[in-house]
């Protein structure tokens, strides 16, 4: 299913991916005198810079666990923080179980990048398209008890998102 290729000179074209970011940052430096403008502008959405591993725990610390009806964003932050912690755990478990490095690095990279902004906003949407994480979930689902727990957990989150949606709140 997975095969490992040796590093070859023909793979050097992959360096164009980070090169594009560097060119974009140089362009931003020339135009607006801030190569990090793509991060700076995120403050308009209440995002900033933070150590990504701390973000979900800081967000959980600020949750009002009485879940007042008038503040549905509170429940959304709670759910997104749990999703972020779950994705970090999936990435680590994939590394420990010796999945191909590209898969668990994608999971951790895709999780840590948005968490570096200091918010857990819409982590559920990130998780929905993080296909390498599903490789681990399918491996774990071989055990019927784990499969039953996953069905319960996903059903629970679906119910919470539906409650938000039915009360006219953003459920994404």
Question: Residue 48: which pLDDT band, with cuts at 50, 70 and 90?
Answer: confident
Residue 146 pLDDT exceeds 90:
yes
Residue 164 pLDDT exceeds 60:
yes
Q: How many CB atoms lie within 10 A of CB 157?
A: 16
pLDDT at 4: 64
pLDDT at 2: 56
Question: Residue 50: which pLDDT band, with cuts at 50, 70 and 90?
Answer: confident
Residue 149 pLDDT exceeds 90:
yes
Angle at 77 between CA 157 and CA 161, to 5 degrees: 30
Question: Taking the alpha carbons of 4, 6, 7, 9 in that order, is the dihedral positive or negative?
Answer: negative
DSSP string for 116-142: TTT--TTHHHHHHT-HHHHHHHHHHTT
The two tokens of residue 148 are 């039953």
The two tokens of residue 13 are 């074209």
Residue 72 pLDDT exceeds 70:
no
Question: Residue 65: which pLDDT band, with cuts at 50, 70 and 90?
Answer: confident
As a whole number of angstroms, the distance between CA 99 and CA 75 comes to 33
Residue 1 pLDDT exceeds 60:
no
**Residue 32 neighbours by CB under 8 Å, 6+ apart:** none
Question: Residue 9: which pLDDT band, with cuts at 50, 70 and 90?
Answer: confident
Question: Taking the alpha carbons of 49, 51, 56, 62 in that order, is the dihedral positive or negative?
Answer: negative
Long-range Cβ contacts of 6-13 (<8 Å, 24+ apart): none
Question: Residue 122: which pLDDT band, with cuts at 50, 70 and 90?
Answer: confident
pLDDT at 35: 92
* pTM for the whole structure: 0.75
């Amino acid at each position: 299913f997975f095969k490992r290729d040796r590093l070859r000179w023909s793979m050097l074209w992959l360096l164009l991916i980070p090169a594009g970011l560097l060119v974009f940052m140089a362009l931003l430096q020339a135009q607006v005198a801030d190569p990090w403008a793509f991060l700076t502008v995120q403050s308009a959405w209440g995002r900033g810079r933070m150590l990504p591993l701390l973000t979900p725990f800081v967000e959980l610390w600020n949750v009002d666990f009485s879940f007042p009806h008038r503040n549905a964003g509170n429940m959304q932050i709670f759910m997104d923080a749990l999703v972020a912690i779950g994705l970090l755990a999936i990435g680590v478990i994939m590394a420990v179980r010796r999945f191909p490095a590209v898969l668990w690095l994608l999971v951790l990279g895709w999780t840590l990048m948005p968490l570096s902004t200091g918010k857990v906003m819409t982590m559920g949407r990130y998780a929905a398209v993080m296909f390498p994480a599903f490789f681990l979930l399918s491996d774990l689902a071989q055990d019927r008890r784990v499969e039953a727990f996953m069905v319960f957990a996903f059903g629970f989150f679906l119910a919470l998102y539906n409650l938000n949606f039915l009360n006219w709140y953003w459920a994404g």
